[in-house]
Each structure stands twice: as C-alpha cells, then as structure tokens.
Amino acid sequence: MCRYFFFIVFFLLAVRGEAQTAKDLFNQSDVKIRWLGVDFSHVKLIGDFAQFFSAGEKSSLQIRDNYFSGWNKLILSEPKKYDLHGMLRKETIVYDIDMVTELNSNAPVEDIESLNTPNYTKKDIEDFIAAYNIVNKDGIGILLIAESLNKNFEEAYFHFVAMNLKTKELLIHQRLRGEPFGFGLRNYWAGSIHDVIKEIKNNRYRIWRNKFK
C-alpha cells in the first residue's frame, strides 16, 4: 500500500512537471522561468552591412562571432534597460543562455545575407525549437528568435517564444517588429531588441494575460 502511494505521488509530480501551460506564466506558481536568450541562428541580414556608421567593414562571419554573443551579453549586463523582469512581471528569472550561445556560435553564414525577410511561420518556429538540445531543464523557457535585421527599412523582426522545456511545446508565440536606434552596429540593433522588450512589457503582456489566464 505504501509503495503504491509513493508511486501515485511520483506520477502526479511527473505529470505536473510536463503539464505546464501558458497560464503558468501569468499565475503565481512555483514554475521556473528561464531566459534562454536571443537565437540568431536563423536570422537574415538585409541591406549593406559592410559599412555601418563608424563600425568599419564587417563580414557576416564577424557579425556572427562578435555581435550575436555581444547582443546577448548586453541584455544581461544592462538589466534595467533590457527589463526582462518587468516584461514578464516576474521577480525571479533564471538566466540560462548557454544553449543559445552555442547555437549562435555555430550559425551558418553562407546564406545569412538576403534580399527579403523570410516571414517565418508558427510551424517554422516549432521546427526550430524541436531541434533545440535541451537536457535536464524544467520550467518555461523564454527567448526571442531573430528573423531579420533589415537595414534598408530600418527594422528588425523577432519571434517571442514561451515553451515548455520538458516537452518543447510552444506555449506562446508572437512575431514582433522592433525599431533599431543608436550609434554603431552593436547599439543600433540592440535598440531593436530593447524596442521589442518594451512592446511586450507595455502592451503584449496584458493581451496574453487576458487570453491565457
């Protein structure tokens, strides 16, 4: 009888660990929220990135090796400006960008330059996260998947993703436009990330909460 009881408890805990839904992002719960970073492994660069203000010539390889990691580090080093806690209304967020850092460092650059934004669909995003190497992580993972940095139109597109880290189920998905600003390549496109975070904080969060809570 005792063995049967503990089996039931273990089963219920396991189910609870995998049954996280979008509601858990908006309710007071013990579900861990993990910031996974900004995934640039599928981004397209549109326009002339060779000369960018005073940045000098930058190849696609240099942008990948220097700026993909730099933009992610900037979010962590300036938490008041890139207000993830305010964006999600959460006091505690676990910063866990190792997986995305590895993805970005190995992103292919052969086809990174493009004439048009790829307009990734929800199915595309589901395929991207299905390929993520997620091991022994629980809770809800939050990240932005970069779609395009468009110098011609001075805009960037990112996909907000909230996912169940146990099952890789996509809980919330939204394609968002960010306006870049600032001087130099790093600050300019970091401005588009800041714009997206501000849009979620000021507008989208309430819309999602009303929809899912």
CB 41 within 8 A of CB 71: no
Radius of gyration of the chain from its Cα atoms, rounded to whole angstroms: 19
Look up residue 57 and give its DSSP letter. B
What are the residue ranges in the chain where pLDDT is below 70?
Answer: 1-19, 50-58
Element (H, E) at 88: helix 84-88
Q: How far is CA 210 from the centre of its chain?
A: 22
Close Cβ partners of 172 (under 8 Å, ≥ 6 residues apart)? 22, 25, 160, 161, 162, 208, 212
Residues 67/89/28/168 CA torsion (nearest 10 deg):
-30
pLDDT of the residue at 57: 47
pLDDT in tens, 71-116: 999 999 999 999 999 999 999 999 999 999 999 999 999 999 999 9
Q: For residue 71, give the 3-state DSSP assignment.
A: helix
Structure letter (DSSP) for residue 67: I
Orientation angle between helical segments 98-105 and 69-77, nearest 10 degrees: 150
**pLDDT for residue 6:** 43
Amino acid 7: pLDDT:
42
> What pLDDT score does 3 carry?
55
For the record, the structure tokens of 88 come out as 């999600």
